[in-house]
Amino acid sequence: MTRYAKNITERTEMVRQESLRLGFDAIGFAKARRLDSEENRLEQWLKEGRHGTMQWMENHFDKRVDPRKLVPGAQSIVSLMISYHQPELDRQQAASELPKISKYALGEDYHKVFKEKLFELFAFTESVTGKVEGRVFVDSAPVLDKSWAVESGIGWMGKHTNILNRQWGSWFFIGEMILDVKFDFDHPIPDYCGSCTRCIDACPTDAIYEPYKVDGTKCISYLTIELRDEIPEEYHRQMGEWIFGCDICQDVCPWNRKARRGSEDRLFAHPEKGDRDIDFWEELNLQEYRELFRKSAVKRAKYGGFKRNVKIASTNLRHPDRTFVNRSGTFRK
């Protein structure tokens, strides 16, 4: 039977240890407050139209920058991380000329896997603190999860705008609990990107227009997942063999070469989703699509969008000149 924590420090340590027992790879605690610097950055980014057709990013702006409006009385943001890294998958994809699906989407839908663990941790937290008012989130509400991951010390914001951790690279998912109880708060860690610009240099559509700034309308992940219209022809060649998402900026990151292997098997790649040639994807019908991706994040693209992506990848893979270029010159073959 779990006992109540004697004080805030003990409470923090009990929740930290339970998170590791449940299979989370990192946890950090931050004070709930309005993110003034992020508010200005996000407002400018939206005004410039960098979010494209993702109109939902304009909604609930105040809640997005101030979690206390999302959870009244909130005092803490507890950020958590789970790795999905499979080093062998990196090598397989690098050596393959098959169509590519972003690694995070090759396992079970992370929303479900992550949220199950979050609910367990929430229940444990309540068992050591008494009644808790709060909510758990995994891409399910207007929460600036990356910003809170930085605030809680889980990692730093990379120049590609993914969160980086010295042990886990950027191959992980982020979720959080917003609670009305206090903890011993962690602090942001240094930025270890240094002078490296590999992610910027490698982006085939030049979506990383400045360090730490991404134009969503040019990002291959946006084009293949969020965009419901036809993909502008100017980006077809740069998309290469990607049919859902894109990992290029993460694949070239030196920190990801050192990343530890994840331990949650449900997030690991299912061979039937990634190890397929272009003929298989071209022949995939609606019923097969629904069955194959029933428990996968790939279903977010919808069948029509997915087949649109496959058609572009097919043209690129069958092109006599397999060289894909960005605006700075040759990208790769």
Burial 70-102 (b: 16+ CB within 10 A, else e): bbeebbbbbbbbbbbbbeebbeebeeeebbbbb
Burial 13-48 (b: 16+ CB within 10 A, else e): ebbbebbeebbbbbbbbbebeebeebbebbeebeee
H or E element in which residue 38 lies = helix 36-47
| Residue 160: φ, ψ to 5° | -90, 5
Report which DSSP code applies to 272: H
Considering all CA atoms of the chain, what is the largest pairwise distance in Å, rounded to the nearest integer?
69
Dihedral over Cα of 218, 220, 221, 226: its sign: positive
- Tell me which residue of 288, 247, 297, 291 sits closest to 267, measured CA to CA: 297
Neighbours of 320 (CB within 10 A): 4
Which candidate in 66, 139, 191, 251 is catalytic? 139
Residues counted in the chain = 333
Burial class of 275 by CB neighbour count within 10 A (0 to 12, 13 to 18, 19+): middle
Q: How far apart are CA 198 and CA 214, in angstroms?
A: 14
CA distances from residue 13 to 10, 17, 27, 69, 299 in whole angstroms, order as listed: 5, 6, 11, 27, 38
Q: Is 229 a catalytic residue?
A: no
Active-site residues, by number, are 139
